[in-house]
């Protein structure tokens, strides 16, 4: 089975469309949270994801947009975007976000936005952060989002992953992050995603170019903070 893995779409419709166009055939789509927040097209991203057989978990921005968590821990740009997003979503879109689980188990994989210690907010930036996560992970493999940086964490080892990298599903347990679709933060502005092939037992990390300028214009036209548009071009 081929599975398209996305994280941190962040209401960036053009980036999501580019990923879907380049991913090739897949049977199921896994979304690791933060479908909304920061970008100008939250509802359209939810609607597009929901056209596919989908397993999705909630991210901190999804929870903030429906009032399930407060905005105290958000930076001012993120908080402003969360308030704007709440005004844009339909009742059905909010209901869908509200019902997302925080953790999902699919075959040999555990899916969570942040970490198993703190599903909405925990960041895995280094192997030291991931140690406890791996101890708690009930499956051999795991997938997270939240940092927007493609990476893999083994017990006491980490590696950052550029487009074209791939990882075998073998004896070593790991938790991996495909990077962010809608707001990459590893210096490569292209949308980041992964394709998991359960027969070949391999996960591939990929990048897809998209129309950043048009996306930036939509963010500015929506009245969202200009910084959220500017950072897309830097991939930071």
From CA 193, how far away is CA 26, in angstroms rounded? 13
From CA 226, how far away is CA 57, in angstroms rounded? 28
Q: Do residues 177 and 6 lie in contact, with contact meaning Cβ atoms separated by under 8 Å? A: no
Q: Cβ closer to Zn ion: 14 or 197?
A: 14
Identify the H or E element spanning 118.
Answer: none
Q: Cβ closer to Zn ion: 8 or 80?
A: 8
CB of 205 to Zn ion, least distance (A): 17
What residues from 101 to 130 belong to the interface with Zn ion (CB under 5 A)? none
77 closest CA partner among 223, 216, 233 = 223
Q: Is 93 in the site for Zn ion (CB under 5 A)?
A: no
Stretch in the footprint of Zn ion (CB under 5 A) among 4-12, 121-129, 131-139, 208-216:
4-12
From CA 67, how far away is CA 48, in angstroms rounded? 23
Q: Cβ closer to Zn ion: 113 or 218?
A: 113
Stretch in the footprint of Zn ion (CB under 5 A) among 5-13, 47-55, 64-72, 80-88:
5-13
CB of 172 to Zn ion, least distance (A): 27
**Nearest position to Zn ion, beta carbon:** 34
Per the DSSP assignment, residues forming a β-bridge with 154 are 157
Count of residues touching Zn ion (by CB under 5 A): 2
CB of 63 to Zn ion, least distance (A): 12
Stretch in the footprint of Zn ion (CB under 5 A) among 8-16, 170-178, 196-204, 207-215:
8-16
Q: Is 186 in the site for Zn ion (CB under 5 A)?
A: no
What b/e readout covers 190-223, taking b as 16+ CB neighbours within 10 angstroms? Answer: bbbbbbbebeeeebbbbbbebebeebbebbeebe
Q: Is 34 in the site for Zn ion (CB under 5 A)?
A: yes
Q: Cβ closer to Zn ion: 68 or 169?
A: 68
From CA 65, how far away is CA 141, in angstroms rounded? 29
CB of 144 to Zn ion, least distance (A): 11
Tell me how crowded residue 126 is: count the other CB atoms within 10 A of its CB.
Answer: 11
From CA 130, how far away is CA 157, in angstroms rounded? 9
161 closest CA partner among 184, 138, 182 = 184
CB of 154 to Zn ion, least distance (A): 23
CB of 59 to Zn ion, least distance (A): 6
Q: Is 80 in the site for Zn ion (CB under 5 A)?
A: no
Q: Is 8 in the site for Zn ion (CB under 5 A)?
A: yes
Q: Which residues bind Zn ion (CB under 5 A)?
A: 8, 34
């Amino acid at each position: 089975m081929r599975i398209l893995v996305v994280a941190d779409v962040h209401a960036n419709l053009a980036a999501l469309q580019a990923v879907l166009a380049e991913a090739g055939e897949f049977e199921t789509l896994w979304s690791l949270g933060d479908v909304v927040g920061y970008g100008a097209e939250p509802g359209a991203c939810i609607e597009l994801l929901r056209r596919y057989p989908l397993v999705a978990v909630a991210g901190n921005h999804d929870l903030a947009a429906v009032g399930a968590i407060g905005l105290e821990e958000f930076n001012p740009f993120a908080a402003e975007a969360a308030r704007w997003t709440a005004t844009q979503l339909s009742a059905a879109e909010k209901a869908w976000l509200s019902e997302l689980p925080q953790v999902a188990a699919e075959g040999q994989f555990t899916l969570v936005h942040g970490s198993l210690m703190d599903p909405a907010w925990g960041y895995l930036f280094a192997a030291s952060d991931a140690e406890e996560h791996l101890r708690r992970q009930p499956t051999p493999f795991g997938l997270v989002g939240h940092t927007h940086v493609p990476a893999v964490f083994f017990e006491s080892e980490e590696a950052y992953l550029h487009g074209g990298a791939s990882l075998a599903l073998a004896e070593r347990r790991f938790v991996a992050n495909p990077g962010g679709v809608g707001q990459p933060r590893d210096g490569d502005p292209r949308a980041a995603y992964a394709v998991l092939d359960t027969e070949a037992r391999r996960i591939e990390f990929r990048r897809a170019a998209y129309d950043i300028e048009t996306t930036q214009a939509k963010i500015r036209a929506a009245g969202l903070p200009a910084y959220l548009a500017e950072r897309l071009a830097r991939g930071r």
